[in-house]
Structure formats: structure tokens, C-alpha cells
Amino acid sequence: MRSLLAYGVAGFRRYAAYRSATVAGAFTNTVFGVVKASITLAAIASAGGAIAGYDARQGATYAFLCQALIAPVAVFGSRELADRIRTGDIAVDLARPVDLQLSWLAADLGRAAYELLPRGLPPLLVGIAFFGLTVPHEVQPFALGAVSVLLAVAVSFACRYLLNLTAFWVVEMRGLLTLYMVGSNVLTGLVVPVHWFPGWMSALATATPFPSMLQAPVDVISGRAGGWDGATTVATQALWLVVMLGVGRVVTARATRRLVVQGG
């Protein structure tokens, strides 16, 4: 447990070291937020004031909350573990007396904890100043929202971990990474809320863990999913987390057995 905590602190410190990268990222997230909110608002206006229960204000709130969460949740994927697998550095990680999956999860939670405020606040402040975002007036959305964001980061990690493990079998995973990035872009609800999807597409999206990464926490924080709805939203996230971490463990076991055969 103490070593996992150390991994978490290291993850936090590591990202805190790159201040100008944080500023640059926050700027880019904000610019995209302005453009996305504009498209969302134009669509809502064109539909006569609301789409799937989102009025103008809620539409803009949705767009900016998504932009605020992109970095902590790491929606677009990552390839750091895959690079360690390809170079063989993974052998060092495996030799340590800590669980591979849990240590990377701890480091990723540390990273997310750092990125939450410096990457999340700027887009939200711009959204509040220029688009008049709505904020819930009760405590419940924030308390449950914190749990939901934590679960979102963990689900995203579990999926990225699995994606990276393919490096044990696939030599060049650029194509896979691109597909993951674009797939998550749509299925998390980042570009357009999943609630706007036509029936077949929303069925497809909800059959994947992706909506648990953005749509779910944004629904909870914005107060769209409150009470019983909020509870089931968070429960669904927890379920996906257990499933994806479980699959990750099975694949890790198979992959490391393979590594032993290959590298001795």
C-alpha cells in the first residue's frame, strides 16, 4: 500500500514538473471548448431551443465540462507503457515486488490529480465568463461528481492499460492508437453528447466503457443525473472498472508468461 502511494506521488510530481506544457495544454483545451460550445449552441438554436433535454446553457456547460476533463481522464489514450514493452524496460517493472497494473494505476491517479485543476479550471472560467455556464446549487452533485470523476479516470486507465498491453503482440501500434483516439473521441460523448446519438449509435456507445469516462461524470456534475439516476450512473462506472481491470489482469498474466518464454 505504501509503495502504491509512492507511485501516486511520483505520478503527481512528474507532471507538476512540466509547467509550460500544462499552460499550453490548458490554452488548447480552452480554444477547442469555445469552438465546440459554438457548434453545440448553433445546433440547439437550430433545433428550436433544445436537443435531448439540453437547452443552450446546458449545451455550453456540457462542452466546457468535457474540455475540463479531457486531460485528467486522458481521453485520447497514451503509449508510455507500450514503449516500455517494446524497448524491454518492462522487464525492470516486472522484477519489482509491486503489482504491475496497480502501480501504473496509482501513478496515473497521481497524474490526474495534478492535471485536474491547472488543465480543468481555465476552460471552465472562460466558459463561465463568456457562455454563462450553469452550476448546480446543491452539494450532492459535487460530492457524487468527485466519486464519478475518480471512477472515470480509473476506467480510462484500465482501457489504456489494456490497449498498451497489445504491444506484447503487435510491433507497431500506431494504427491501433489512432483508432482508439478517434473512437474514444466519439463514444465518450466528447464531440456530441451520447444522449444526442440516434438509437443504434447510443446502443453501440453504451455497450462500451467509453461513456463512463466523460458522459457519466459530466452528467453527474452538471446535475443532469441526480438522485437515483446519479447512483446508477456511478454504479455503471464501477461495474466497467471491475470488468476492464479484470480483463487487464488476465491479459497481463498471459503477456508476462509469453515474455518469459521469449526473453528467458
Residues of this chain that bind other proteins (CB under 8 A):
18, 20-21, 23-25, 27-28, 31-32, 34-35, 38-39, 41-43, 46-47, 51-52, 130, 171-172, 174-179, 182-183, 185-186, 191-192, 196-198, 201
Helix axes 227-263, 140-165, angle to 10 degrees: 20
7 or 62, CB closer to other proteins? 62
Least distance in Å: CB of 70 to other proteins? Answer: 12
Minimum separation from the CB atom of position 62 to other proteins (A): 14
CB of residue 36 vs other proteins: minimum separation in angstroms? 8
**DSSP single-letter state for residue 55:** E
* Nearest approach, Cβ of residue 228 and other proteins (Å): 27
Min dist CB 237 to other proteins, Å, is 23
Helices (H), the chain: 2-16, 19-46, 56-73, 80-87, 90-95, 100-131, 140-165, 174-187, 199-206, 215-221, 227-263
* 38 or 232: CB nearest other proteins: 38
- The nearer residue to other proteins, 1 or 171, going by C-beta atoms, is 171
Fill in the amino acid letter for 232: T
CA 249, CA 242: separation in Å to the nearest integer?
Answer: 11
| Cell numbers 506521488: residue | 9
Q: In this structure, which amino acid lies at residue 22?
A: T
Give the CA dihedral 56, 62, 67, 71, nearest 10 degrees: 180
Neighbouring C-beta atoms of residue 9, cutoff 10 Å? 14
> What minimum distance in Å lies between the beta carbon of 3 and other proteins?
29
Nearer to other proteins, 51 or 144 (CB): 51
Residue whose C-alpha cell is 471491475: 242
Residue type, 221: I
Maximum C-alpha span of the chain: 66
Quote the least distance from Cβ 173 to other proteins, whole Å: 9
d(CA 120, CA 175): 29
Among residues 133 and 150, whose Cβ is nearest to other proteins? 133
- Which residue, 182 or 207, has its beta carbon nearer to other proteins? 182
**144 or 194: CB nearest other proteins:** 194
